Structure 1
């Protein structure tokens, strides 16, 4: 990984985008940074670069959403995420890098399909709030997809959308859950050699961008509609996800 002009032309908007989403504007779309970075980096470099920055964003976002989460839902998701993270670590240790490029691309396109299905009513929240077992299963899926591509949002959303949560409580719960999941991922990432001196140096340069993105997201969460943001996100994810899939298969 070379920290040149091309790198920063991709990395700065990717990290800013992720920060805005982590701050509560376009919730769940923060993982779009990973497929974007995977266009110029290996899958391992992309997820390794993003994890420390996502952890900084989590800490920054915790303050405005402090204790505004639903603790029962968050606890179920966090407990379930433990085996999901472990499964992701086990797979990473044995799989070919192209497998992860394919999975990142598939998750990007799948995220768009999930969001469109939800908006059009093809995917509807459960009529009754999901119970503890369903929450832990969703947490397991969130932990696994988060380990692979920082893409745990959709499984968690399926569970949380069955709950009568306000927009702010939903976002607060999401922030807490992925703060915990990202902490869990740090040690396996380190043990698997996903971090490097280059990613650490890049994190130093990109940390201010991460902080700025979160504060912009908190501001936008309170004042602005999300339709345009999501529209751009969907087009962007379909294009990058499709390219990653084609590259992996070829």
Structure 2
């Protein structure tokens, strides 16, 4: 049996926000999806309901950004991310999600504030060279991304910490991010099934929300495709900062 209208009054905006994120508009909007949905159901059920919708959004995003991605970045980051998911599965009962939110939020706040200081502070105007590919850093941040994605639905900020300083073309960056998280979400299906979170009730609710997923994803991609690099990167760092503040406050609030 499907929930009543009050559930959908919260669930539909949550799906739209996550869809805009999947279209390329940054992690901050997407982080609001599960908390909004959790106002109507438990956080665990909210995450379970959202995962199949994320998979559909990933399919739409993969098609929209099919011509844009950086192969080298994916090859460096995916192995670490898969290890991170495995570690998250193995330690899901031992490590509170709130601790992971707190750590990821704090690190990403520092990362984003450093960018804005360099861009608008005393050294504004001094060009900052793009960082090259760094296998060790890629493995570390991708493991944190995979781990955070599994235990706290917070995989975006660690990816941004490694990916944004590469200064890829905005379309290439977005396409790379889309492929990265599409793989992570697909891999997460197995452990979510194993933990019993994808039952018939949650899947039926997910199916009822699916029509809103592709529309929001296409809208997000339409906006990002029209952004120039000098607008795209400040916007993405701002989204990273907002996402990090949200994670930090959530983690701190529960621990406190």
User: Partner of 2:22 in structure 1?
Assistant: 22
C-alpha separation between the residues in 2 aligned to 1:231 and 1:10? 25
* Residues 1:183 and 2:179 are matched in the alignment: no
User: Partner of 1:151 in structure 2?
Assistant: 154
* Residues 1:165 and 2:165 are matched in the alignment: no
Mapping for residues 10-159 of structure 1, pairs under 5 Å: 10-26=10-26, 29-92=29-92, 94-95=93-94, 99-100=96-97, 102-103=98-99, 106=102, 110=106, 113=109, 116-117=112-113, 119-121=115-117, 128-159=131-162
User: Partner of 2:200 in structure 1?
Assistant: 197
Aligned with 2:65: secondary structure? coil
Greater Cα radius of gyration, structure 1 or 2: 2
C-alpha separation between the residues in 2 aligned to 1:228 and 1:160? 14
Q: Which TM-score applies when normalising by structure 1?
A: 0.81
C-alpha separation between the residues in 2 aligned to 1:233 and 1:128? 18
Root-mean-square deviation (CA, aligned residues, Å) is 3.4
C-alpha separation between the residues in 2 aligned to 1:119 and 1:220? 23
Aligned length in residues: 244
Structure 1 stretches lacking a partner, 5+ long:
none
Greater mean alpha carbon deviation, residues 237-246 or residues 159-168: 237-246
Structure 2 stretches lacking a partner, 5+ long:
120-127
C-alpha separation between the residues in 1 aligned to 2:186 and 2:251? 27
Q: Does structure 2 retain, via aligned residues, the 8 Å contact 1:49–1:199?
A: yes
Q: Which runs of 4+ in 1 moved over 4 A?
A: 107-112, 224-241
C-alpha separation between the residues in 1 aligned to 2:162 and 2:236? 24
Q: Does structure 1 retain, via aligned residues, the 8 Å contact 2:18–2:30?
A: yes
Q: Does structure 1 retain, via aligned residues, the 8 Å contact 2:26–2:239?
A: no
C-alpha separation between the residues in 2 aligned to 1:162 and 1:210? 30
Q: Does structure 2 retain, via aligned residues, the 8 Å contact 1:34–1:149?
A: no
Q: Which TM-score applies when normalising by structure 2?
A: 0.80
Q: Does structure 2 retain, via aligned residues, the 8 Å contact 1:74–1:173?
A: yes
